[in-house]
Amino acid sequence: MSDAKIVNLVDESNKRSSQLPLVSGTLGPDCIDIATLYKDTGHFTYDPGYGSTASTKSAITYIDGDAGILLYRGYPIEQLAEKSNFLETSYLLLNGELPNKQQFSSFEHDITHHTMMHESLKDFFKGFHHDAHPMAILAASVASLSAFYHDDLNVDDPADRKLAAVRLIAKMPTIAAACFRYSVGWPLRYPRNNLEYVERFLHMMFEVPSEPLELNPVAAKALDLLFILHADHEQNASTSTVRLVGSTGANPYASIAAGITALWGPAHGGANEAVLKQLNEIGSPDNVETAVKRAKDKNDSFRLMGFGHRVYKNFDPRAKIIREMCHKVLNELGVNDPLLDVALKLEEAALKDDYFVERKLYPNVDFYSGLIYKALGIPTEMFTVMFAIARTSGWIAHWIEQHETPGSRIGRPRQIYIGADTRDYPSGKR
């Protein structure tokens, strides 16, 4: 008798049964493999929002939501935050192992020499009004990259996949900075190869012709840390979107552009922008009680943005790190932001309130990040763009993993049909 674990499912409704294998991973709950369920029983499963559904096997990131654990390729996020940098973390997500000195230097060289965007892309920006949301420009610009780079679109070629990954990680900061500069009417800035990844981005964002930019090491370190914390997060909505689009054979730029649009939603990556807007609306610690009351009111669509998570039913480990960093960065930059007091009061009030405690609603990665972006001079509408720059490494790592997995199929969920029953077109209608 094999030691394979089986779930015996007996369907009393039609006296059919199914022997469903349990699949175990390295960590985390076993999963019931239901691939034969429809054939055996004639039934689908139903799980809108996929709260109980694993969509794939992956070796990239592991989350234990109850314990508040996040691992990138087995390394705890706290250790990577303390010891790594964003490019090294990106290499880890892509390749499964930390790079040695030579591997890191070669990866950094590749990224540095792919940072420029095609000059024609500048004309693309001119098609937008200056008040266009930068996420709209970013999504459109990344999707358009497949119109410029025809030489790395063979999704079945590992070398093409690697080149597309390097191009995307390298060009996201350049395109993101261009989105910002276009919105404020500044001339676009070319990437400087003598700067490291984050410093190069800050230079492209804030250097103006009228005076040299003094790069602040505190700002660069803070941003690098935020990029590490946002780099990947298992099968979240935008990563699942990248995988679903990638499963059709779509090119990497189209797949990542789909992830950018999914990230934009306020329930997902758009939450960091929504948090800042909400803290501004609340305005003072004196108004926190009213905000908490509204968040609990089922008749009010108001929710505390930056609170709650589908997986974390404990503190989001990234939120803990960002919270500590927030105090440190604002102090080191000499920024006294009254919204930090509002955020701290809001967190304190919510964590004491039964409504939030019973539902295990804790601050998530988006709750404090915006306060740091604001202190770095990044405008609110650019916050989700920052998230997208970082998450590009995770997205493309998942896109590659899916293409490297033998037997990957197009994603095509089924449904419960609740529409009209079969009926005939009325005679004499026309």
Q: Where in the sequence numbering do the catalytic residues fall? A: 268, 309, 366
Q: Residue 90: is it exposed, middle or buried by C-beta count within 10 angstroms (0-12/13-18/19+)? A: buried
The single residue among 365, 371, 372, 376 that binds ligand SDX, judged by CB under 6 A, is 365
Total number of residues that touch ligand SDX (CB under 6 A): 22
Stretch that binds ligand SDX, among 135-143, 156-164, 199-207, 264-272 (CB under 6 A): 264-272
CA 249 to CA 363: how far, in whole Å?
37
Q: Is 116 helix (H, G, I), strand (E, B) or coil?
A: coil
Least distance from ligand SDX to the Cβ atom of residue 192, Å: 30
Residue closer to ligand SDX by CB (options 157, 300) is 300
Stretch that binds ligand SDX, among 29-37, 157-165, 200-208, 297-305 (CB under 6 A): 297-305
CA 215 to CA 279: how far, in whole Å?
28
Residues 303-322 that bind ligand SDX (CB under 6 A): 303-311
CA 148 to CA 27: how far, in whole Å?
41
The single residue among 161, 171, 181, 233 that binds ligand SDX, judged by CB under 6 A, is 233
337 neighbors 330 (Cβ within 8 angstroms): yes
Is 267 a binding residue for ligand SDX by CB under 6 A? The answer is: yes
CA 361 to CA 219: how far, in whole Å?
30
CA 280 to CA 379: how far, in whole Å?
14
Stretch that binds ligand SDX, among 71-79, 135-143, 185-193, 298-306 (CB under 6 A): 298-306
Q: Can you say how many angstroms the Cα of residue 246 is from the centroid of all Cα atoms in its chain? A: 16
Q: Smallest Cα–Cα separation from 35: which of 47, 50, 52, 23?
A: 23
**DSSP of 215-281, one letter per residue?**
--HHHHHHHHHHHHHHS--SS-HHHHHHHHHHTTT--HHHHHHHHHHHHTSTTTTTHHHHHHHHHHH
**Contact code string over 12-31 relative to ligand SDX, x by CB under 6 A:** --------------------
Output the six-digit token pair for 291.
């905000």
Q: Is 392 helix (H, G, I), strand (E, B) or coil?
A: helix
Least distance from ligand SDX to the Cβ atom of residue 278, Å: 10
The single residue among 146, 236, 241, 255 that binds ligand SDX, judged by CB under 6 A, is 236
Is 169 a binding residue for ligand SDX by CB under 6 A? The answer is: no
Least distance from ligand SDX to the Cβ atom of residue 394, Å: 8
**Contact code string over 68-107 relative to ligand SDX, x by CB under 6 A:** ----------------------------------------
Is 364 a binding residue for ligand SDX by CB under 6 A? The answer is: yes
Least distance from ligand SDX to the Cβ atom of residue 391, Å: 7
Q: Is 357 helix (H, G, I), strand (E, B) or coil?
A: helix
Residue closer to ligand SDX by CB (options 5, 360) is 360
Stretch that binds ligand SDX, among 156-164, 181-189, 267-275, 337-345 (CB under 6 A): 267-275
Residue closer to ligand SDX by CB (options 99, 363) is 363
Q: How far apart are the first and last CA of the chain?
A: 67
56 neighbors 402 (Cβ within 8 angstroms): yes
Q: Can you say how many angstroms the Cα of residue 287 is from the centroid of all Cα atoms in its chain? A: 31
Residue closer to ligand SDX by CB (options 160, 273) is 273
- Length in residues, the chain: 430
Residue closer to ligand SDX by CB (options 227, 307) is 307
Paired strand residues for 17: 10
The single residue among 73, 133, 161, 268 that binds ligand SDX, judged by CB under 6 A, is 268
Residue closer to ligand SDX by CB (options 245, 305) is 305
Q: Is 363 helix (H, G, I), strand (E, B) or coil?
A: strand
Residues 334-363 that bind ligand SDX (CB under 6 A): 359, 361
Residue closer to ligand SDX by CB (options 220, 271) is 271
Is 271 a binding residue for ligand SDX by CB under 6 A? The answer is: yes
CA 370 to CA 257: how far, in whole Å?
23
Angle between helices 288-296 and 271-282 (to 10 degrees): 130
Residue closer to ligand SDX by CB (options 319, 378) is 319
Is 251 a binding residue for ligand SDX by CB under 6 A? The answer is: no
The single residue among 198, 295, 375, 389 that binds ligand SDX, judged by CB under 6 A, is 295
46: which residues sit within 8 A by CB, 6+ positions away?
Answer: 416
**Which residues of this protein are in contact with ligand SDX, per CB under 6 A?**
49, 233, 236, 267-269, 271, 295, 303-311, 359, 361, 364-366
